[in-house]
Chains A and B, each alone.
Chain A
Amino acid sequence: MARVPVQFTLNGEERAEFIESGTTLLHALRDTMGDTSPKGGCQQGTCGACSVIVDGELRLSCLTLAQTCEGAAIETTAGLAAGGVLHPLQRAIMDGFAAQCGFCTPGMIMAAKALLDHTPNPTREDVIEAISGNVCRCTGYEPIIAAVLAAARSNSQNAG
């Protein structure tokens, strides 16, 4: 299989690697770049566990070819607490006991971050819409919705 170079920034850090042509962004991140925070829950775009942010937009990394991310800025949950300070979403999920097995959590956080980056003061309906592509089998979603809304509130308090 032909190997091709790919270069992008991952959580602010320049990364350049050779990957097999046709590798998904999910596999490139997990197997080559050592970032296992995106999870492979279905490998077919129906569970959202692999969600990452590419150039500010939410993407399913299992359906994204790594080669199409050349030069892009990629964010994952692994880079969210840069400098050791938790993002308000991370803090709110912990405080609200909004994770159980945790497998969907990194993807859920990315979906919620993509929302808050665009819509800092979302409504409950905005939150529901934002995480509706992310499957959680443990929590019943309500704690997650509450946590995202709490994170938005703490964000706006800090900003104000």
Chain B
Amino acid sequence: MAIRKGRGVAAINYPTGMNLGGDPSQALVHSTPTGNFMVSLSSVDLGQGLKQVMAQICAETIGVPTDLVTIDTADTDTGPHCMGTFASRGTHRIGNAVRQAAEEARQVMLEVAADELEVNASDLDTDGTGNIHVKGAPQKSISIFDTALAAHFKRGRSISGRGMFLVPRSFPETETGAMKPATCYAHACVVADVEVDDETGEVTVVSVKNVYEVGRALNPKMVEQQLVGGSWMGISHALYETTEPYYPNREHGGTDFNQYLMPGPGDLAATETIVIERPAADGPYGAKGVGEMCANPQIPALANAIFDAVGVRIDSMPITPERILRALKAQAGEMRTG
């Protein structure tokens, strides 16, 4: 009886957005009289930080600091339609809608600034800190604050924009399955190291080394939140989680957190997270959806590591100590079949 070490790898990809498309989202952007920007959505922030990311996309596009952008969302009386927050679609679909709306608003803003500065709008640029200036002549400038005031009270212009993003629906061909499921994919490769106690069947995840390709990390600390939490969930799926431990038998399903098992703070693997960016051609600033894919590769990587450690294949999730022990006993010829 011994603690046995093993190592496994897995590599995966994951589609961004609703499978086969057909999942629109809209955004409306407008400025207040003093050059703050409101983004109206009906999108849901589940905790992944959608509101913050949308604010940064709007701010980047308009050319103002993120602090000046307010997200007003998830009220169906005021926000335009959004398909919802699922299928790793939020950042990509809604982000594209916000970017389009912000571009339209920016164009009006530059036109007003051009009138104020008596130049052409196409000669203007923003500096990202709240000012608009003539390209190549930064001293000739106007603040966005003054531009918004002028738009409202002098020029009668609405600094606003509409955004709509839709990947057209694809219908699979009946006999061949030819279809367009997605426009871009995130990627990952994970190496997991485990220790397996061949007496108890218990698995200790010593470390996971996660490499994720995310398109573009729009807010790196928030991407890290997703990737680290997702890696934990992947490990949890691999080793612990099920509502029906003896599926397809319906008995013994957990009804609370004492019975439905997940790794606690004392069960964590040393987790290393590396990010690669290959911007998506159709992503807002290159972003892909990463909220789901980050939890997938740990499962097979751990299954493979457990095999590497003790030489048994557990092809049913979750890989519980009971299943490992049964397989070890079968391998040792201690258990009669049937």
Contact = CB atoms under 8 A, between A and B. Distances in A.
Given A46-B257, A139-B229, A140-B228, A100 B48 contact: yes
B232 interface: yes
A140 B232 contact: yes
A138 B265 CA distance: 12
Contacts of B49: 100
Nearest to A44: B256
Interface string B220-242: 01101100111111000000000
B209 to A, nearest CB: 15
Interface stretch (A20-28, A72-80, A128-136): A128-136
Contact of A140 (B46, B47, B48, B231): B231
Given A97-B224, A140-B231, A142-B271, A128 B47 contact: no
B244 to A, nearest CB: 19
Given A44-B256, A46-B257, A139-B229, A97 B221 contact: yes
A85 interface: no
B268 A42 contact: no
Given A100-B229, A142-B271, A132 B47 contact: no
A141 interface: yes
Contact of A142 (B46, B48, B221, B228): B228
Nearest to A140: B232
A139 B264 CA distance: 11
Contacts of A46: 256-258
Contacts, number: 62
A125 B265 CA distance: 9
A101 B265 contact: no
Which of B230, B233, B265: most chain A CB closer than 10 A?
B265
Given A47-B257, A101-B47, A103-B47, A144 B265 contact: yes
Interface in A38-78: 42, 44, 46-47
Contacts of B233: 137, 140
Q: Is the interface of A mostly helix, strand, loop or mixed?
A: loop
Interface centre among A131, A138, A139 (most CB of B within 10 A): A138
B266 interface: yes
A131 B264 CA distance: 9
B271 A135 contact: no
B266 A138 contact: no
Of B48, B221, B256, B266, most buried by chain A (CB within 10 Å of CB) is B266
Counting chain B residues whose Cβ lies within 8 A of the other chain, the interface size class is 20 to 34
Interface string A94-113: 00010011110000000000
Contacts of A97: 221-222, 224-225
Contacts of A92: none
A137 B264 CA distance: 10
Contacts of B47: 100-103, 138
B229 A140 contact: yes
Contact of B265 (A44, A102, A131): A131
A78 to B, nearest CB: 20
Given A128-B265, A128-B266, A141 B48 contact: no
Given A46-B258, A100-B47, A140 B271 contact: yes
A135 B232 contact: no
Given A140-B232, A142-B232, 11 more contacts: A42-B256, A97-B222, A100-B48, A102-B47, A128-B265, A131-B265, A137-B233, A137-B262, A140-B231, A140-B271, A141-B265
Interface of A: 42, 44, 46-47, 97, 100-103, 127-129, 131-132, 135, 137-145
16 contacts: A46-B257, A100-B49, A100-B225, A100-B229, A101-B46, A102-B47, A128-B264, A128-B265, A137-B233, A138-B47, A140-B228, A140-B232, A141-B232, A141-B268, A142-B228, A142-B232
